[in-house]
């Protein structure tokens, strides 16, 4: 009732401290930017949406995500197979072997980068959103309910005082 009356402008609302309001605004801003950065980093590390969903499901089920061959490693594998078909002694085959090995190293570096970024960058962001932010939101709801209770009590007190004053004026 108090919340509805405040929204309709019929009840007085106790304002929170300006410093605290600033803190709440900064917390909201931090949460929003953390979510955006987390999502975009996930897109960068895994551009395939269906693979992201699969990884998300494995993560929620507390299962190990199966290791996926990177595009660089797949290209290296194709180059090695082509080199064997052309013959490793031919100039083209020899070149394919060298370039394929470089692609294999690049693919392995990419896999290491994705793994490291996930552990050292994405995990702290997720921990904030799933831990700290949930605590902040819970405490904020509790504070809002307490403030509404306080305002409702103030309104009842004002009505009681007004009724008492009216009773003393009209004997």
Average pLDDT estimate for 74-95: 94
Q: In the chain, what are the domain boundaries?
A: 17-163
> How high does pLDDT run on average in the chain?
88
Q: How far apart are CA 114 and CA 122, in angstroms?
A: 10
Alpha carbon separation from 29 to 11, 18, 108, 157 (Å, rounded)? 29, 16, 36, 37
Q: Return the structure tokens found at 104.
A: 């294999």
Query: Does pLDDT of 47 surpass 90?
Result: no
Gyration radius (Cα) of the chain, Å:
31
- pLDDT, tens digit (0-9, with 9 covering 90-100), for 138-169: 999 999 889 888 888 888 888 898 888 888 87
- Best CA proximity match to 42, nearest among 104, 106, 125, 100: 125
- pLDDT, tens digit (0-9, with 9 covering 90-100), for 15-34: 888 999 999 999 999 999 99
- pLDDT, tens digit (0-9, with 9 covering 90-100), for 48-78: 888 888 887 887 787 877 778 888 999 999 9
Q: How far apart are CA 78 and CA 153, in angstroms?
A: 75
Task: Say whether domain 17-163 belongs to CATH 3.40.50.2000.
Answer: no
pLDDT given at position 144 = 87
Q: How far apart are CA 36 and CA 31, in angstroms?
A: 9
Q: How far apart are CA 96 and CA 39, in angstroms?
A: 37
pLDDT given at position 147 = 87
Angle, helices 91-117 vs 18-45, to 10°: value is 160
pLDDT given at position 35 = 97
3-state secondary structure 56-83: HHHHHCCCCCCCCCCHHHHHHHHHHHHH
Contact 82, 96 (CB under 8 A): yes
Query: Does pLDDT of 7 surpass 70?
Result: no
């Amino acid at each position: 009732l108090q919340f509805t009356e405040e929204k309709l402008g019929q009840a007085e609302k106790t304002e929170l401290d300006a410093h605290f309001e600033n803190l709440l605004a900064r917390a909201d801003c931090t949460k929003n930017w953390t979510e955006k950065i987390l999502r975009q980093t996930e897109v960068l590390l895994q551009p395939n949406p269906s693979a992201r969903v699969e990884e998300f499901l494995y993560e929620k089920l507390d299962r190990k995500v199966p290791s996926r061959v990177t595009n660089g490693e797949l290209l290296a594998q194709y180059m090695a197979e082509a080199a064997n078909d052309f013959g490793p002694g031919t100039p083209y085959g020899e070149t394919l072997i060298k370039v394929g090995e470089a692609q294999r190293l690049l693919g392995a570096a990419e896999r290491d980068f994705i793994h490291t970024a996930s552990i050292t960058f994405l995990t702290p962001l997720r921990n904030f959103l799933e831990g700290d932010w949930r605590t902040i939101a819970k405490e904020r709801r509790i504070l809002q309910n307490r403030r509404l209770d306080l305002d409702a009590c103030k309104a009842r007190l004002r009505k009681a005082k007004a009724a008492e004053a009216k009773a003393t004026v009209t004997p």
